Amino acid sequence: MVAALGYETTRAALTAVEGLLGRRVGASVELGEPEDLGGSGRTLVMRVRVLHNNPLLPRSVVIKQLRAADHTDKDHSEAFAREGAAYKFATALPVDARPGPQLLASDAEERILVLQDLGEGETMGDLLRRTPSSGAATVLSAWAQALGRMHAGTYGRERDLSVLARREHTDSRNDPVAGEAARAADAVPAALGGVDEATRAVLDAAVALFTEGPFRAFSPSDVGPDNTHVVGGAVRFLDYEWAGFRDGALDVAYVLLTYPDCIEDGHDPDLDVAIVEAWRSEVVRLWPRLADDVALRRHVTTAKLAWLTLATYWALGLDSASRIDAGHLDSLPAWSNDDLAARWDRLAAADPRVHDFAVAAAAEVRAL
């Protein structure tokens, strides 16, 4: 565990974090009972206990650090800096708008984040898998409402994140996911033999949701079922390596595309409606245009197009220049060819603007 943290012993790792927390609370802090929580390919995460009660600290904290071998990797270091800025941004929000754990301390040089321990809980995916069909709409609505509260609570605060990112020597506008989506929107149509101007315009609009969308708000980027946790009945979003400001419809579309993987009966149009309505109820006061059902439906299907094109880019093996780490947005490459094609079928039926493109994409994926 600790070798990956960049320290020779567990004790050395804990001592470093004890120093961080001690400076924060102005008193000595002792940590122990480390528990490995895994982590992504480039980070290690562990839970530790605060051994002596301190009124300024919780009883346990979570430590996240970039693996020592990746400290010199530019992309990984940049992602970690972006995550640090995002946690600082989220921690400064009002409690009811805060999407995930509070940042308690950080060390930019050692690439350490010390986070509030939200407890055991379970992933949204696990909760949905054990929820009977009759209760799925309630769970999915809670998921969508949590997204809406995050979006409503962060709308108009993009400059705050930008300032924090600059302090971490990174740029919150440098979004590798946006770059990947743009490459996908060029490569997939080319692989299918090209598209007409009208379809090209919709694809361009889909890509623009990452950088220019009209309903921009904070997003962790991957709000999928296995990256969303439910703790004490509250929905929390984790992992901010790719966080930034994007059009909120991208998050809603991601939920719509990924929840069927966790429901015994798969996709259900009624559940789609429940998700969209729950999200809209939280954001429509800020974005009155979303009160228009036609405009809302078109905007969400445009966002779905962005994700499905990206998933197809990966499925067709067109991503040789990819900068997205394995494990991020992992619901998309996990789909079977039939699963991905079925999603294209539904998009073709829902949006005449991209019908022919969606049909061609579905056929190409099925032929793999």
Domain assignment of residue 341, yes or no: yes
285-306 mean pLDDT: 98
Q: Rounded distance, CA 42 to CA 325, Å?
A: 9
Q: What is the DSSP string of 185-213?
A: HHHHHHHTT---HHHHHHHHHHHHTTTT-
Question: Among 116, 148, 183, which residue terminates a domain?
Answer: 116
* CATH assignment of the domain containing 21: 3.30.200.20
Distance CA 94, CA 92 (A): 7
pLDDT at 39: 66
| 5-43 pLDDT per residue, tens | 555 456 777 888 999 999 999 999 999 999 988 766 567
Q: Which comes out higher in pLDDT, residue 113 or 7?
A: 113
For residues 353 and 267, state if they share a domain: yes
In this structure, are 169 and 52 located in the same domain? no
Q: Is residue 329 located within the same domain as residue 295? A: yes
pTM: 0.92
Cα(254)–Cα(81) distance, integer angstroms: 25
The answer to whether position 2 is within a domain reads no
Q: Is residue 360 part of a domain?
A: yes
Does the pLDDT of residue 75 top 80, yes or no?
Answer: no
Least confident of 33-42, 52-61, 207-216, 278-287: 33-42
Residues 179 and 271 in one domain: yes
CA proximity to 337, closest of 302, 361, 355, 303: 361
Task: For the beta carbon of residue 26, count every other beta carbon within 10 angstroms.
Answer: 7
Q: Do 82 and 197 belong to one domain?
A: no
Per the model's pLDDT, the better-predicted residue between 275 and 221 turns out to be 275
C-alpha distances out from residue 214 to 156, 257, 293, 299, Å: 11, 21, 16, 10
* CATH number, domain containing residue 270: 3.90.1200
**DSSP H helical ranges for 131-247:** 136-154, 158-167, 176-191, 197-208
pLDDT tens-digit map of 221-243: 899 999 999 999 999 998 898 89
185 and 56 within one domain: no
Domain-embedded: residue 214 = yes
Q: Do 30 and 82 belong together in one domain?
A: yes
Q: Give me the torsion for CA of 108, 109, 111, 114, rounded to 10°.
A: -60
Same domain assignment for residues 339 and 300: yes
Q: What are φ and ψ of residue 48, in 5° steps?
A: -135, 155
Note down the domain range covering 128: 122-367
The dihedral of CA 86, 58, 47, 49: what is its sign? positive
- The total of structural domains in the chain comes to 2
Residues 89 and 218 in one domain: no
pLDDT at 321: 62
Q: Residue 45: pLDDT band by 50, 70, 90 thresholds?
A: confident
**Do 175 and 286 reside in the same domain of the chain?**
yes
pLDDT of residue 279: 99
User: Which residue, of 85, 101, 116, is where some domain finishes?
Assistant: 116
Tell me what the pLDDT averaged over the chain comes to: 91
Q: Of the residues 116, 139, 169, which one is the last residue of a structural domain?
A: 116
261 located within any domain: yes
Q: Is residue 1 part of a domain?
A: no
User: Do residues 112 and 161 share a domain?
Assistant: no
Q: Is residue 92 part of a domain?
A: yes
pLDDT tens figures, 344-356 = 999 999 999 999 9
Which range (109-123, 132-146, 179-193) has the least confidence? 109-123
- Residue 226 CA to residue 259 CA, distance in Å, equals 10
Asked if residue 293 and residue 160 are part of one domain, the reply reads yes
